[in-house]
């Protein structure tokens, strides 16, 4: 391969992927030196470009693949032969040229590495207690980048001129800070300031903030992708105060610690959970509370799990001592986006935070903490944001050079997705688009992604719901638009992740989604591929008395089902459900007045939770189901009666007999036994329908998606029930809840285009 003189060869090597801002050029420089090569390496708009000449090029190429920096991701390497050069005497790192076409991938923000952690704790190091310490292996990336290529001048570090020592590190190819774009120190970099009613001047504002938190204060702390609200997780009064001020009654708070030893005192941690906690993504990981759990009761009330993260930025390592556990929740009012601009913290948070720990490096893009749980030794994403976004998802056989798709995503837990060639760029978590501030953040983020990845979409994908903000936004773009049914998009997201092209049995379990018949879907069995789907089964429709109120007040669902079963005997069996005007509510629902029909699995969990007296009114999404699952933990149970009937070629799961069984079961066997019995029953029923569809179709692959799949008790039972006869898949790269919908929308749109089912001239 290549023209040679005495074994010499010269290659032009193009490396694409996440290869900027992760120490890739110094890695290439060192590798080239080890193999006695001449030539150069540079960053450009496509990634990293190398021209290398020598006798050990094959070993050099092998080293690129095997030894690449841990924070990098190499998507592909192209190699071309070049004529030999007789003028080179060394291997050098060249400056980045002006961008022409943007193919560069942007690294997610990376958790602090062990080397930087040691430096900030070393009294003899010049970066001792410096809260912006970073290197090519860690630190901010996506949150500070404003343009590509990823050079300091294109980040929010452009206002900070490096001192001589930092510049020497930056220019030394053998230093781990070589071309670390956010490189800085106490002399030349950003700094923290602490404010109460006025600025607090002291020698160490971070130590002062720590002391204030330990004394019971709530402190807004500016971090990587926005502000956190921090308080002492052991202090019941401080946690209660934070809940009251943030208007967050029961939804669990996440906590932060600096080491695994502290976490293990609170929670059970397996090897995969530990690996995820200590990863460069450093997400919040949901961990089972241990018997020694002793945080304030209101940190995560009525919940068997605790969301935990390790300190992932220097500020966190300095703010928390070894034994500390701090609540670290997004600094926002409920349902609003995370605060990330300094002026907002003084206006929006002045009634919430007692103090503000502020720094003078701009955050260009707000990025929430990611949330993960481990199931079957694999990550299940609940929120894909910091540490994951904007890393691309490979499109495999959906690769398409002719067009780019903008998938606008769902209404709740929104992400959007842009495609280019063989990659899908899923946005960071945006939030619920029912809020105007979130709407603005949504539009800002779409504009940023278009700019960073040089994408001008010519095909749009969106939900079918006509009233979703994302649907209305899609229609305003005046481009060809593919509308994708919500639950088909759920299934398609798994198909796209795993590059499946064959038909599968798709099981979409969630609370809501606009159905083809105009009803609310959410307990769906489909035979589907990316092109199309056929609804072959669903949970029986139930009315939602009072419409949207029934979602917030599960007692309404329980009332309707209990009255349907017991009639006026309900007064004896469920007196707690008889709110004022309850008869009018039932009559209106029976007449179809303000009582839309739903097949949602989420509403089934709500109904059972209320029937068992666990949760009559919810303060956050999924609360009734979460508390029902908690009641079922470590309990025995039994499979209760249920009915599966056939209606117009579809299997209908009717749980009326299950609901009826719960009253006597709770009376005789107790709450926990009843809760576990419901989970056992539902898993058996879902499994039976899957068995029937498998026999009907011969399909042996089952795909699960939707927010209800975050119920690990249910999924464990389903996997035990089905894994011997079927190949089972869930989302692993995008959230299993609505946060993954946009990938499914994009995949369906691309597949339809590739099959000539989309007219771009419309």
Strands, DSSP E only, in 184-271? 192-195, 199-200, 219-222, 227-232, 254-257, 267-268
Backbone φ, ψ for residue 677 (5° rounding): -60, -40
What is the H or E stretch that residue 645 is in?
strand 643-647
Rounded Cα distance, 186 and 449, in Å: 33
Q: Show the tokens assigned to 484.
A: 């994708």
Cα dihedral 466→468→469→470 (10° resolution): -90
Burial label, 174 (beta-carbon count in 10 A; 0-12, 13-18, 19+): exposed
Decide if 387 contacts 284 (C-beta within 8 A): no
Strands (E), 316-368: 326-330, 355-359
What b/e string do you get for 79-117 counting C-beta neighbours within 10 Å, with b at 16 or more? eeebeeeeebeebebeebeebeebbbbbbbbbbbbeebb
| DSSP bridge partners of 221 | 228, 357
Rounded to the nearest 5°, which phi and psi values hold at 588? -60, -40
Q: From the CB of residue 521, how many other CB atoms can be counted at a distance below 10 Å?
A: 26
Report CA 680 to chain centroid distance, whole Å: 29
Q: Which residues are catalytic?
A: 25, 43
Phi, psi of 745, deg, nearest 5: -60, -45
Residues near 594 by Cβ (< 8 Å), separated by ≥ 6? 545, 546, 547, 588
Structural contact between residues 569 and 647, judged by C-beta atoms closer than 8 angstroms:
no
CA neighbor of 748 nearest in space, from 514, 483, 534, 509: 483
- Triad 67, 70, 72: Cα angle to 5°: 95
**C-alpha atoms less than 13 angstroms from C-alpha of 266 in its C-beta half-sphere:** 29
What is the distance of C-alpha 142 from the center of its chain?
15
CA 591 to chain centre: 41
The Cα–Cα gap between 590 and 612 comes to 23
**216: buried, middle or exposed (CB in 10 Å: 19+, 13-18, 0-12)?**
middle
- Dihedral, CA of residue 754, residue 756, residue 757 and residue 761, to nearest 10: 110
Question: How far apart, in Å, do the first and last CA atoms of the chain sit?
Answer: 49
Measured CA to CA, the distance from residue 567 to residue 581 in angstroms comes to 16
**Nearest-5° Cα angle at 546, 541 to 549:** 100
Tell me the DSSP string of 148-198: SS--GGGBTTTTS---HHHHHHHH-TTSTTTT-TT---TTTS--EEEESSS
CB 604 within 8 A of CB 678: no
Q: Using the CB atoms, write b or e for 593-617: b if 16+ within 10 Å.
A: ebbbbbbbbbbbbbbbbbbbebbbe
């Amino acid at each position: 391969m290549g023209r040679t003189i005495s074994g010499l060869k010269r290659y032009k090597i193009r490396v694409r992927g996440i290869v900027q801002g992760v120490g890739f050029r110094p890695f290439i420089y060192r590798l080239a030196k080890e193999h006695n090569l001449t030539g150069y390496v540079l960053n450009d708009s496509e990634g990293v470009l190398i021209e290398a000449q020598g006798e050990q090029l094959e070993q050099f190429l092998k080293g690129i693949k095997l030894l690449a920096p841990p924070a990098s991701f190499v998507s592909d390497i192209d190699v071309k032969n070049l004529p030999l050069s007789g003028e080179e005497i060394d291997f050098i790192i060249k400056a980045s040229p002006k961008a022409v076409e943007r193919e560069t991938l942007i690294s997610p923000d990376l958790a602090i590495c062990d080397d930087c952690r040691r430096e900030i704790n070393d009294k003899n190091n010049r970066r001792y207690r410096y809260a912006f310490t970073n290197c090519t292996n860690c630190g901010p990336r996506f949150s500070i980048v404003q343009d590509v290529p990823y050079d300091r001048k294109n980040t929010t570090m452009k206002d900070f001129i490096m001192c001589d020592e930092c510049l020497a590190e930056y220019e030394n190819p053998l230093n781990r800070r070589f071309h670390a774009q956010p490189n800085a120190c106490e002399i030349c970099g950003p700094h923290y300031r602490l404010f109460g009613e006025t600025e607090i001047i002291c020698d160490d504002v971070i130590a002062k903030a720590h002391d204030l938190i330990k004394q019971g204060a709530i402190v807004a702390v500016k971090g990587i992708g926005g502000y956190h609200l921090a308080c002492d997780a052991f202090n019941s009064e401080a946690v209660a105060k934070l809940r009251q001020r943030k208007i967050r009654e029961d939804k669990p708070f996440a906590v932060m610690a600096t080491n695994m030893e502290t976490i293990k005192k609170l929670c059970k941690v397996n090897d995969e959970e530990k690996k995820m906690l200590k990863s460069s993504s450093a997400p919040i990981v949901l961990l089972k509370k241990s018997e020694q759990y002793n945080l304030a009761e209101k940190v995560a009330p009525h919940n068997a799990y605790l969301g935990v993260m390790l300190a992932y930025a220097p500020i966190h390592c300095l703010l928390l001592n070894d034994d500390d556990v701090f609540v670290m929740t997004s600094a926002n009012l409920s349902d609003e986006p995370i605060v990330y601009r300094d002026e907002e913290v003084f206006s929006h948070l002045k009634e919430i935070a007692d103090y503000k720990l502020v720094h003078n490096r701009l955050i260009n893009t707000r990025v929430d903490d990611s949330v993960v749980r481990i199931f079957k030794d694999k990550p299940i994403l609940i929120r894909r944001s910091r540490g994951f976004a904007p890393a691309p998802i490979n499109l495999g056989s959906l690769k398409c050079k002719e067009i780019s798709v903008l998938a606008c995503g769902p209404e709740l837990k929104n992400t959007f997705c842009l495609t280019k060639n063989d990659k899908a760029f899923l946005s960071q978590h945006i939030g619920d688009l029912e809020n105007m501030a979130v709407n603005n953040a949504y539009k800002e983020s779409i504009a940023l992604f278009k700019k960073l990845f040089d994408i001008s979409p010519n095909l749009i994908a969106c939900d079918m719901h006509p009233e979703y903000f994302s649907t209305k936004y899609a229609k305003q773009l005046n481009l060809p638009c593919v509308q994708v049914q919500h639950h088909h998009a759920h299934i398609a997201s798994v198909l796209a992740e795993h590059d499946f092209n064959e038909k599968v049995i798709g099981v979409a379990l969630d609370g809501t989604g606009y159905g083809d018949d105009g009803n609310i879907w959410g307990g769906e069995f489909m035979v589907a591929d990316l092109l199309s789907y056929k609804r072959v089964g669903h949970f029986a429709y139930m009315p939602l008395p009072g419409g949207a109120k029934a979602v917030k007040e599960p007692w309404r669902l329980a009332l309707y089902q209990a009255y349907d079963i017991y009639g006026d005997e309900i007064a004896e069996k469920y007196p707690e459900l008889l709110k004022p005007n309850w008869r009018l509510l039932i009559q209106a629902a029976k007449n179809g007045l303000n009582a839309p029909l739903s097949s949602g699995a989420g509403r089934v969990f709500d109904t059972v939770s209320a029937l068992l007296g666990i949760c009559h009114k919810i303060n956050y999404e999924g609360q009734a189901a979460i508390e029902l699952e908690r009641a079922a933990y470590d309990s025995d149970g039994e499979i209760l009666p249920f009915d599966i009937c056939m209606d117009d070629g579809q299997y209908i799961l009717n749980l009326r007999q299950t609901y009826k069984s719960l009253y006597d079961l709770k009376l005789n066997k107790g709450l926990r036994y009843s809760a576990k019995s419901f989970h056992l029953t539902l898993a058996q029923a879902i499994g039976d329908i899957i068995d029937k569809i498998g026999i009907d179709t011969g399909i042996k692959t089952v795909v699960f998606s939707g927010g209800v799949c975050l119920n690990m008790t249910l999924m464990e039972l389903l996997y035990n029930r089905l894994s011997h006869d079927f190949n089972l898949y869930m989302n692993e790269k995008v959230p299993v809840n609505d946060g993954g919908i946009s990938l499914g929308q994009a995949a369906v749109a691309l597949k339809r285009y590739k099959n000539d089912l989309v007219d771009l001239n419309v």
